[in-house]
Amino acid sequence: MKANRVHNFSAGPAALPLSVLEEIQESFLNFNNSGMSITEVSHRSKWFDDVINDAIERTKRLLKLDDNFEVLFIQGGASMQFCMIPMNFLHGNKTADYVDTGTWSTKAIKEARIQGKTVHVASSSEDKNYSYIPKDIEFTDNAVYAHITSNNTIKGTQWSNFPDTGNVPIVCDMSSDIMSRSFDPSPFGFIFAGAQKNIGPSGVCMAIIRKDMLDLVPEELPTMLKYTTFASKKSMFNTPPCFAIYTIQLVLKWLEESIGGLEKMEILNQEKARHLYDFMDSGDFYKATTEKDSRSLMNVTFRLHDEALEKHFVEEAIENDLNGLKGHSSVGGCRASIYNATTMDSVKALTDYMKHFESKNG
């Protein structure tokens, strides 16, 4: 018997493709005829070798990565990378540039400074409560890297085009929009993404590192905090989060074989976001919180014309099987996260509900 499914707009852990969940359900007790669950299979077995190697190869194909990149899976989430990145790459009197677009980039800056690293904030959108992506950015010519957050789940902003940093490698937190669109990977030295927003469940961070960045890693770091450890041992120095990696593998398979690649996924994501933003822009009952040219295709943040109604809006939405619409506690308001696995049917169900709520309360 199939369980009743709601429309899931949660920011993370977030919606996963139904076909992926069904495949997990079908194979959970007997993975690949092993007689064991995927949660029981040894990470040293051929069964799991096939899983992680397939996940790596699919990542490389989807993102068009050449042999200069390693794909790693690291525990600790994206937040662990906030300290590991400067620990591994930034030494001596060297400087790193950070663009502060709020919350996650702000945390990353803090973690670098805790270690006494030299951080140059090349630009910030704090002056307007992080409601836009900066355009006038003063990157340092000799910086070790330039750190950006491609999409801000809380503020609802996203880089539509990545900045030109010259010869300085971009280090990018793509936790909430990885695999949502195609892009040129060549300017990036390091990409990382907590899985639980767009590619899998919580418990693992996908890290994509350009091999020349590994030359920056000092030997004297603790073993489990060195990217060279994960690269040299193919993410298996210790027991990796096998179930999370297995789910990522299935999501990547879905992206490749069911969706048809990132170019097609990007078109679908643009259509979903356009439908929701166009509806909000057509009246004054709902108001997007970000500037138009910085709007996220993944996290649509908005307020109601009367803030006192927002609590009722969220509560009634749950009664109508629309979950996860409460804004982050740090900013309030409302938020609809429309990641890859969120369908257009769900987005249309949301706008239908929004019309109905407005007709009663407008």
Q: What is the pLDDT of residue 2?
A: 53
The catalytically annotated residue of 173, 177, 272, 326 is 173
Cβ–Cβ < 8 Å for 240, 75:
yes
- Beta strand 151-152 pairing with 157-158: antiparallel
Strands 188-194 and 299-304: unpaired
* Stretch 228-245: mean pLDDT: 97
Q: Nearest CA to 273 among 328, 348, 212, 201?
A: 348
Q: What confidence tens digit (pLDDT) does each residue in 118-170 have?
A: 999 999 999 999 999 999 899 999 999 999 999 999 999 999 999 999 999 99
Instruction: Out of 117, 155, 197, 272, pick the active-site residue.
Output: 197
Instruction: Return the H-helix or E-strand segment holding 189.
Output: strand 188-194
Active site (annotated) includes residue 173: yes
- Do residues 174 and 150 touch, judged by C-beta distance below 8 A? yes
Looking at the DSSP assignment, which residues form a beta bridge with residue 118?
A: 95
At the top level of CATH, the class of 261-361 is: alpha beta
Q: Are 108 and 78 in contact (CB under 8 A)?
A: no
Q: How many helices (H) and strands (E) does the chain have?
A: 9, 14
Matching CATH number, 21-259, of 3.20.20.80, 3.40.50.720, 3.40.50.2000, 3.40.640.10: 3.40.640.10
pLDDT at 53: 98
CA angle 338, 105, 136 (to 5 degrees): 95
Q: Which of 104, 159, 226, 272 is catalytic?
A: 104
Alpha helices in the chain (DSSP H): 18-27, 46-63, 77-89, 104-114, 227-232, 242-253, 262-281, 310-319, 344-361
Band (pLDDT 50/70/90 cuts) for residue 3 is low
Torsion over CA of 197, 59, 208 and 233, rounded to 10 degrees?
110
**Phi and psi for 120 in degrees, rounded to 5?**
-110, 115
What's the gap between Cα 228 and its chain centre? Answer: 23
Domains in the chain: boundaries: 21-259, 261-361
Look at the block and give the residue holding tokens 């297995």: 246
The per-residue pLDDT for 346 is 98
1 pLDDT more than 50: no
CA distance 265 to 257: 12
Give the per-residue pLDDT at 33: 95
CB atoms within 10 A of CB 30: 12
What letter does residue 36 receive in the DSSP assignment? S
Edge-first strand order for the sheet with 95-100 is 69-74, 205-210, 188-194, 170-173, 146-149, 95-100, 118-124
Q: Model confidence over 302-357: pLDDT tens digits? A: 999 998 999 999 999 999 999 999 999 999 999 999 999 999 999 999 999 999 99
Centre a 10 Å sphere on the Cβ of residue 340 and count the other Cβ atoms it contains.
28
Q: Do 21-259 and 261-361 show the same overall fold?
A: no
Q: What confidence tier does 58 reach under pLDDT thresholds 50, 70, 90?
A: very high
**Cα atoms in the 13 Å half-sphere on the side-chain side of 177:** 26
Residue type, 292: K
205-210 and 188-194: which strand pairing? antiparallel
Residue 295 burial (C-beta neighbours within 10 Å; 0-12, 13-18, 19+): buried
Beta bridge partners of 112: none
Active site residue 104: yes
Q: If you average pLDDT over residues 75-90, what whole number do you get?
A: 97
Phi, psi of 57 (to 5 degrees): -65, -40
